[in-house]
């Protein structure tokens, strides 16, 4: 935001509560705000944001927040440990607004859309559901830049007066430039406040970046904080396996994302809960299968495994050999159901049946899910 | 008859000398597909299994009358490859590449507006018309000629469904993978409209998944303008919100794009939504039988 000259409060980040008092006096404002730095919204309600009227109070707040397990509606019930805080100047606020840019996927839009609302501070999803008329939307053409008239359209729509109109229009243009130049999929300033002395200030912001564009933004890829991610998902990323951890006890390995999601649904339908989403990729080579098994079995909740491969270009007999090799290399003990369908499936089933590694073989999709669900119970 | 591909389709493969491009071009040739040329910038003048390779798509259009293109180039070059084909006057572009930045696709869609060019994908397995040919990489052996149209956002799940159909002796008119990205060239609604107007198609299978509103928009179209029966399955009932499930477009965000909502909207539009993915083929067969179409 600073890089794009969007007005933000003066502040400094630290992980040392003893530093907080000194930072507060350097900032020099009458009051400061101490904010927990985690990747989740709703921090204020959970006690992760505190206002301090003196450096001593700031230090006290810092001691309370650093090391706390902060629970918000976005962290899940276990919460997230706070390691860092941001201390910034507190300003007197006259009004809170919402300003955001997203890619609108709907068929007749398919372009970035700037959204603004006078109902700032609230979750925009709630406003959209309950009072959609309170959100002003303006579509933007990524080939042209965002025009001043579009900014005015939003500012007047929010009921703002003269000097604020051009200031807001300027902020929107800068934010739009950030969105395009950084390949964002969402930028959100919530709240964007109007201070008592009639200026705008971005008090809190969230930016999502397009994973597929990270290759051309090393500065953004460098912001990644593995501490904020599930350790198994971090390992999966490093080994290029597409894996998402879930809460169940049936591990699954599938080729293709759509079939992987469907396999999770089938496990649920058969009365068990999936432990993960895992797409080994279209080729399902032996090396990838072994890497995938290692990630799957690192999840201690997993009690049974379902392998579901549809052999299109990839031959099922080769996949079967890959599974057997990986399972014996790893001395895999967990019960497992293997379903191979498509190219050379019969040959694959024969290989599986003859191997010394223990598998249960299934032909049908639902049959496979039912078998593995029983094993997990 | 069928949609998009027919005997007059003359295909150029962009990226034909690459690993993916060459393998799948050969598979397509075996399937009987009319590939007339390949393009790889810098390899112009070479030959691929007797086919000419050019530096530019426009060469394939001028010299070999290419009117369709299949794109197998890496993500960083794919948007440019699509734009090159649009500019060369290609009428049907099928882009298999996964991982094109969304903002690039926003620009591509702007470039498509006002032209008579159709884009399928990106991040898709392509299209197949049994008996005519294919652009993409759906496995050859699963297909069978017939009267069911298949539209899907996925790859292997689509093969699974086509395989179920063929095993039940139900053939397909055309199968289209529209792609798993947030912004794609041809939406469910566009594809439904093509099948509705195709005399060779009697029933359509729509395989959707979480994320976005394409299924809801399709439901609207079905309710208002579709006379043919639609059988559907939506993947991702158990997907957690806020996580990208493999496909860039498969994400529930801000409570929107859930499987539950999509199933409900499709049912309200009169679509047969099959909850068990193992029974999609059977659901289609029963509907065809009930209508006396097989």
Taking only Cα atoms into account, the Rg of chain A, rounded to an integer number of angstroms, comes to: 26
* CA gap A264, B271 in Å, rounded: 23
Same structural domain, A153 and A176? yes
- A70 plus A33 within the same structural domain: yes
A165-213 pLDDT per residue, tens: 999 999 999 999 999 999 999 999 999 999 999 999 999 899 999 999 9
Task: State whether A103 and A150 are in the same domain.
Answer: yes
Q: Quote the ipTM score.
A: 0.95
Q: Give me the residues of chain A with pLDDT under 50, please.
A: none
Rounded CA-CA distance A223/A120 in Å is: 27
Decide if A3 is inside a domain: no
Options 3.30.565.10, 3.90.1150.10, 3.40.50.720, 3.40.50.261; CATH of B1-123: 3.40.50.720
Task: Specify whether the CB–CB gap between A339 and A361 falls below 8 A.
Answer: yes
Picking from A73, A89, A105, the residue at the C-terminal end of a domain is A89
Which residues of chain B make contact with A306, given a CB cutoff of 8 A? none
Architecture of domain B138-294: 3-Layer(aba) Sandwich (3.40)
- Tell me how far apart the alpha carbons of residues B183 and B198 are, in angstroms, rounded to a whole number: 25
- In the prediction, which pLDDT does A111 show? 93
Same domain, A143 and A210: yes
- Cα distances from A223 to residues A82, A226, B287, in angstroms, run 17, 10, 53
Domain ranges of chain B: 1-123, 138-294
Are the beta carbons of B155 and A215 separated by less than 8 Å?
no
**Pick from A142, A185, A257: CB nearest B247:** A257
pLDDT of A257 reads 94
Inter-chain residue contact B157 with A259, CB threshold 8 Å: yes
Residue A239: give its domain's CATH number. 3.40.50.261
Distance (Å) from the alpha carbon of B184 to chain A's nearest alpha carbon? 9
Rounded to the nearest angstrom, the minimum Cα separation between A265 and chain B is: 6
Establish if B206 touches chain A: CB-CB under 8 angstroms.
no
Q: Phi/psi at A66 (nearest 5 deg)?
A: -65, 130
Report d(CA B1, CA B174) in Å as an integer.
9
What is the reported pLDDT for A144?
Answer: 75
Say whether residue B241 is in contact with chain A using an 8 A CB cutoff: no
Q: Which residues of B are catalytic?
A: 247
**Residues in chain B where the model's pLDDT stays below 70:** 1
Q: Please judge whether A258 and B103 are an interchain contact, meaning their C-beta atoms are less than 8 angstroms apart.
A: no
A281 with A216, same domain: the answer is: no
> Residue B151 and residue B173: Cα distance in Å, rounded?
11
Query: Are both A237 and A250 inside the same structural domain?
Result: yes
Last residue of a domain, one of A221, A247, A274: A221
Question: Taking CA atoms, what residue in A is nearest to B154?
Answer: A258
Q: Measured between CB atoms, does A143 come within 8 Å of chain B?
A: yes
A84 and A97 share one domain:
no
Contacts of A146 in chain B (CB under 8 A): none
A325 is catalytic: no
Burial level of B120, CB count in 10 A (0-12/13-18/19+)? buried
Q: Is the same domain home to A241 and A184?
A: no
Write the CATH number for A50: 3.30.1490.20
CB-based contact (8 Å) between B150 and chain A?
Answer: no
Query: A151 and A198 share a domain?
Result: yes
Distance from CA of A74 to the nearest CA of B (A): 10
Give B180's contacts in chain A (Cβ within 8 Å): 257-258
Q: Which domain holds residue A109?
A: 93-221
* Given A57, A59, A88, A188, the catalytic residue: A188
Assigned domain for A61 exists: yes
Phi/psi of residue A302, nearest 5 degrees: -70, 125
Number of H helices, E strands in chain B: 9, 14
- Residue A257 inside a domain? The answer is yes
User: Over the stretch B21-33, which tens digit does the pLDDT of each residue have?
Assistant: 999 999 999 999 9
B10 close to A (CB below 8 A):
no
| Domain count within chain A | 3
Q: Is residue A347 located within the same domain as residue A250?
A: yes
> Is A255 close to B210, i.e. CB distance below 8 A?
no
Instruction: Tell me if B156 and A259 make a contact (CB, 8 A cut-off).
Output: yes
Picking from A185, A256, A265, the nearest residue to B237 by CB comes out as A265
Distance (Å, rounded) from C-alpha B181 to C-alpha B141? 26
**CB-based contact A172:A154 (threshold 8 Å):** yes
Taking CB atoms and an 8 Å cutoff, what residues of chain B touch A266?
276-278
Question: Are both A245 and A160 inside the same structural domain?
Answer: no
Who among B106, B152, B250 is closest to A142 (CB)? Answer: B106
A210, A105 Cβ separation under 8 angstroms: no
**CATH code at A215?**
3.30.470.20
**3-state SS track over chain A:** CCCCCCCCCCEEEECCHHHHHHHHHHHCCCCEEEEECCCCCCCCCCCCEEEECCHHHHHHHHHHHCCCEECCCCCCCCCEECCCEEEEECCCEEEEEEEEEEEECCCCCCEEEEEEECCCCCCHHHHHHHCHHHEEEEECCCCCCCCHHHHHHHHHHCCCCHHHHHHHHHHHHHHHHHHHHCCEEEEEEEEEEEECCCCEEECCEEEEECHHHHHHCHHHHCCCCHHHCCHHHHHHHHCCCEEEECCCCEEEEECCHHHHHHHHHHHHHCCCCECEEEECCCCCCHHHHHHHHHHHHHCCCCCEEEEEEEECCCCHHHHHHHHHHHHHHHCCCCCEEEEEEECCHHHHHHHHHHCCCCCEEECCHHHHHHHHHHHHC
Please indicate whether, in this complex, the C-beta atoms of B212 and A105 are within 8 angstroms of each other.
Answer: yes
Domain boundary among the residues A29, A59, A89 is at A89
One domain, residues A47 and A67? yes
């Amino acid at each position: 935001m600073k890089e794009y000259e969007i007005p933000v409060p003066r502040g400094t980040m630290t992980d040392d509560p003893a530093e907080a008092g000194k930072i507060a006096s350097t900032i020099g404002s009458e009051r400061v705000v101490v904010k927990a730095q985690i990747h989740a919204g709703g921090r204020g309600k959970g006690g992760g944001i505190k206002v301090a009227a003196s450096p001593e109070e700031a230090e006290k707040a810092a001691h309370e927040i650093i090391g706390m397990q902060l629970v918000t509606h976005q962290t899940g019930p276990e919460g997230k440990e706070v390691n860092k805080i941001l201390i910034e100047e507190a300003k007197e606020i006259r009004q809170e607004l919402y300003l955001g840019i997203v890619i609108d996927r709907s068929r007749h839009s398919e372009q970035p859309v700037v959204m603004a609302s006078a109902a700032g501070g609230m979750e925009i999803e709630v406003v959209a559901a309950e009072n959609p008329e309170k959100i002003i939307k303006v579509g933007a053409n990524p080939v042209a830049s965002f025009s001043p008239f579009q900014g005015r359209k939003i500012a007047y729509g929010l009921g703002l007066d003269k000097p604020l109109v051009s200031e807001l229009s300027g902020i929107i243009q800068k934010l739009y430039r950030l969105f395009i130049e950084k390949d964002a999929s969402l930028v959100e300033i919530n709240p964007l406040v109007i201070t008592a002395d009639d200026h705008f200030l971005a008090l809190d912001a969230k930016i999502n970046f397009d994973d597929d564009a990270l290759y051309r933004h090393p500065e953004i890829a460098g912001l990644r904080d593995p501490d904020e991610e599930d350790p198994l998902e971090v390992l999966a990323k490093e080994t290029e396996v597409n894996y998402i951890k879930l809460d169940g006890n049936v591990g699954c390995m599938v080729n293709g994302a759509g079939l992987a999601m469907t396999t999770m649904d089938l496990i649920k339908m058969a009365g068990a809960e999936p432990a993960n989403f895992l797409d080994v990729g279209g080729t399902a080579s032996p090396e990838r299968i072994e890497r995938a098994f290692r990630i799957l079995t690192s999840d201690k909740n997993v009690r049974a495994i379902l392998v579901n491969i549809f052999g299109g270009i990839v031959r099922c007999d080769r996949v079967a050999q890959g599974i057997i090799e990986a399972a014996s290399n790893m001395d895999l003990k967990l019960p497992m159901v293997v379903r191979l369908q498509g190219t050379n499936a019969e040959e694959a089933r024969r290989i599986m049946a003859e191997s010394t590694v223990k598998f249960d073989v299934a032909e049908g999709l639902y049959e496979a899910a039912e078998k593995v669900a029983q094993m997990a119970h | 008859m069928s949609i998009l591909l027919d005997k007059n389709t003359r295909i150029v493969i962009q990226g034909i000398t690459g690993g993916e491009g060459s393998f799948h071009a050969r598979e397509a040739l075996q399937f009987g597909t009319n590939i007339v040329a390949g393009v790889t910038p810098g390899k112009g003048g070479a030959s691929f299994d007797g086919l000419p390779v050019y530096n530019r798509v426009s060469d394939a259009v001028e010299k070999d009358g290419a009117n369709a293109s299949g794109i197998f180039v890496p993500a960083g070059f794919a948007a440019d490859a699509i734009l090159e084909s649009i500019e060369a006057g290609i009428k049907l572009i099928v882009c298999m590449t996964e991982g094109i930045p969304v903002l690039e696709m926003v620009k591509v869609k702007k470039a498509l507006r006002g032209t008579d060019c159709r884009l399928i994908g990106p991040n898709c397995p392509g299209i197949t018309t049994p008996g005519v040919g294919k652009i993409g990489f759906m496995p050859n052996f699963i297909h069978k000629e017939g009267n069911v149209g298949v539209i899907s956002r996925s790859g292997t799940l689509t093969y699974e469904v086509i395989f179920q159909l063929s095993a039940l002796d139900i053939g397909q008119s055309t199968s289209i993978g529209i792609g798993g990205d947030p912004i794609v060239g041809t939406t469910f609604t566009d594809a439904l409209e093509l099948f509705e107007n195709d005399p060779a198609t009697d029933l359509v299978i729509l395989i959707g998944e979480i994320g976005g509103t394409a299924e809801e928009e399709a439901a609207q179209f079905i309710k208002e303008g579709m006379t043919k029966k639609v059988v559907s399955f939506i993947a991702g009932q158990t997907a957690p919100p806020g996580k990208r499930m493999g496909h860039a477009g498969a994400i529930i965000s801000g409570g929107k794009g859930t499987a539950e909502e999509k199933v409900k909207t499709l049912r309200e539009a009169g679509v047969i939504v099959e909850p068990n993915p193992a029974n999609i083929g059977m659901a289609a067969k029963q509907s065809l039988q009930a209508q006396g179409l097989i």
